A and B are shown apart, each in its own frame.
Chain A
Amino acid sequence: MTAAKFFFALLAIGAAPAQAAEPSASEIVGKVDAFRSPNEPNLKIGMVLQSKGSGASSGVSTYTNLLRNDVGALVQSVDGQQRGYKYLATDNGYWLYAPRTKRALRLTPLQLLRGQASIGDVSRLSYADDYTAAFAPTPRQTVEGKDCWTLALRAKSPQSTYASILLHVNRATGAPVRALLNAQSGRLLKTATFGPVTNVSGYRIVQSTTYFDGVDRSKSTTVRFNSIAKANTPLGLFRPQTLSITS
């Protein structure tokens, strides 16, 4: 072995631990999920949606989001025109309950909740559950001045809201920065930008996420978590047949 070969062999050995320290795409997604929602089995989240540029949908709306990580989410509108409307998201599908119709109607996850925010945006808060992750062809990019990993997520569940997502994650913190949310055809449906990680009811999470329309960027909806509390919501409430019961 020449001196040069020996030098490069040492370099390779030295470099190996450094590459192993680089987290996998799945690990990065797991950390992103932890910033999107606390890892608790049963939660009650108070959230506010503010929409701009969406005509009559513009304005502020308040919702309660009951999350059980073994079932799904039950989102209830508590003010405005949609007061009493409920959106149920489970692995079996999505439903809307309108007080006047007294029955649950099946929906798709892309159905809009308010403005640019889809039902899936507020009910499916785990990318790891819904998407397979891999590094994008250009795995590192600078987004909004931050050094980011770029991940390509592909839907693995029929209940996934989007067919694919290009996710930019801050390398320094592991927090999500931006996501391009795409349809099956590959067209851009929406862009999501994630706010800073802050303390909400004792949990360090991304408090605000803003969704911009894929075509008209003047249309946006910001989803903000105002309160988070552990809950004890019974499993039985996460069924289409029980949506008439006050949550």
Chain B
Amino acid sequence: MLRHSPVALAALLVLVWPDIGLAQEQQAHIVAEKQDADAGLGAAVAQDIEPASTGAEEPGAELIGTPEIVADDPAEDGVGLGGFVFLEATHRDARSTDVNPGDLFDLSSKTFEAAVIVEGPAFGFTWRARGELIGTEDRWPQRTRVRLQELSYQRRIGQRWSVSIGKQERSWDAGVSFRPLGFFRTQPNLSDPFDSEGRQEGLSLISVIYVGEAIITEAVVSDDVFGDIDDDVEARQWAARVSRQFGKIDASLVVRQAAGQSIGVGGSASYSAGAVELHADAYVGPRGRRRGHRALSGSGQVVPDDKIVDDLFPSDPFILDRGGGGTVLNSVVGITWAPSSDLRVNAEYIHRGGGLSGRKWSSYLDLVAGHRAALDTPSRGLAIANLSYDIGVLRGSVRKDYLYVQGSVTLGKLSLSASTIAGLADGSATLIASATHRFGQRAAAVFSAVSFIGSRTSEYGLLPFGTIVSLSLRRSF
């Protein structure tokens, strides 16, 4: 069934996009996934929350009698099963940029995904699994995968202690678009920050929480027990958080140490007053481990030009930068305005201390220029390979400072959302718009469009895609 249903969906969607090329380059897929991850804020929340009542004029009919209900007390440790089916068709429209001259990689693509997410509690355990089929109109399925995203056991001990063990997510952040304190979960997918598509996974960890009258304390130890975490994620770590409420301000202090690194400190604060909420997260710590281009790695050191020449054609320019010295600040400061349940506006300033500085960005542009120039030499093959790595550098937001603005409005069964993340260094931006139409309480269709704008040498202007549009259908069970 699963094999045929997405194909049927694909046939339907081909009517909408009749003349679209296919993905051909593995590196391009990496970038494409990245662009999905960076793109736009959907109206996912609308699926989790029923809309506010609308009501009208004075009722005229006679009141109906109170129905009789017979039910037992809640069974709090029962077994439940739920989830949803997710179908998505995505079209990426490639464009020629310095990293993809003349659309060298032929990156336009039309891909399809069919997934089922199953989750539920069972005797104190919480679990969630995602099975997915991904392919193109020529090859279906191209990839099949089943992931156990969460499996944990949580237990309250008395009124004040809580212990949980297993693969799970812990959320210590207040921000929407960036998680400086996201040690136990992945960074948000800006096209789906509330994870309505069920893609996020947790880490294997043990958490102990003490809930006091005023102070809440949590200690967490985590590791990559199942060996399925990307090697640029610092899974082996410990962290502790102490939080307290001061009137309308909720504040927390965090300390954390990843394996082989020094201790970092951070905190989070939020303030609520009526329709307005102010929030901030910050973390100062070691630069941290990350996968990056050899020519751009190092602890704040700009790679000399001659080194760039040496590294022009490495067989594998990507290395795991283990951080080394240096301390960086990651932070997000934002405001949310929600005057009604149908309208929400969020704005945030993001600072990524580990992002590329202006000088490093110039080095990157030089690297790209060198590879591009080599296309007309006998080393064309190597140049193409390295340009594909250069595209890989653009995965995720790579500079230091960004502004994120998002607004959403609900009009009956229709939810509209628009958002942008703009780089403050070069003014380039990702623009996202989405429309969600709900069908009853369980089904929804989401259309989203993403566009990347900016100058030829800017971060988002360099991306080899002009627009990405997608249509998805979701039905919960």
Contacts and interface: CB of A to CB of B under 8 A. Distances in A.
Interface of A: 46, 48, 50, 52, 55-57, 60, 62-64, 78-81, 83-85, 92-93, 96, 98-103, 105-108, 110-114, 116, 118, 144, 158, 178, 183, 187-191, 193, 195, 208, 210, 212-215, 217-218, 220, 222, 224, 226-227, 232-237, 239-242, 244-247
A93 B56 contact: no
Contacts of B126: 84, 99
B46 to A, nearest CB: 11
Contacts, number: 199
B198 interface: yes
Contacts of A101: 45, 48, 194-195
A235 to B, nearest CB: 5
B320 to A, nearest CB: 28
A64 B55 contact: no
14 contacts: A50-B69, A81-B82, A93-B277, A102-B171, A110-B53, A190-B55, A191-B63, A193-B63, A210-B64, A212-B63, A222-B69, A232-B159, A241-B243, A246-B156
Main secondary structure of the interface of B (DSSP, over half): loop
Nearest to A220: B64
Interface string B270-308: 101110010000000000000000000000000000000
Contacts of A183: 55
Contacts of A96: 48-49
Contacts of B57: 187-188, 214-215
B66 A56 contact: no
A234 B159 CA distance: 7
Contacts of A108: 52, 338, 340-341
Given A60-B71, A234-B160, A116 B53 contact: yes
User: Mostly helix, strand, loop or mixed at chain A's interface?
Assistant: mixed
A80 B477 CA distance: 10
A234 B476 CA distance: 34
A215 B452 CA distance: 45
A203 to B, nearest CB: 15
Given A56-B442, A100-B196, A212-B64, 8 more contacts: A79-B74, A100-B128, A102-B170, A188-B58, A189-B55, A190-B55, A236-B211, A245-B156
B55 A105 contact: no
B59 interface: yes
A245 to B, nearest CB: 5
Given A81-B82, A222-B67, A232-B159, A217 B341 contact: no
A102 B270 CA distance: 17
A244 B61 CA distance: 43
Contacts of A103: 171, 173, 194
Contacts of A113: 50
Nearest to B336: A106
B421 interface: no
Interface in B148-173: 154-156, 159-160, 162, 169-171, 173
Given A108-B52, A111-B341, A242-B211, A84 B248 contact: no
Contact of B67 (A50, A102, A215): A50
A110 B209 contact: no
Contact of A111 (B50, B54, B64): B50
Nearest to B248: A92
Nearest to B209: A245
A200 to B, nearest CB: 12
A235 B48 CA distance: 27
Nearest to B54: A215
A85 to B, nearest CB: 8
Interface string B230-254: 0000000000000101001010100
Interface in B163-212: 169-171, 173, 185, 194-196, 198, 200, 209, 211-212
Q: Which 4 A/B pairs are nearest by Cβ-Cβ distance?
A: A56-B441, A214-B55, A189-B55, A112-B50
A191 B62 CA distance: 11
A189 B53 contact: yes
B210 to A, nearest CB: 9
A236 B171 contact: no
Contacts of B15: none
B8 interface: no
B49 A84 contact: no
Nearest to B340: A108
Contacts of A220: 64, 67
Interface string B13-54: 000000000000000000000000000000001001111111
A236 B215 contact: yes
A102 B128 CA distance: 13
B12 interface: no
B219 interface: no
A12 to B, nearest CB: 39
A62 B243 contact: no
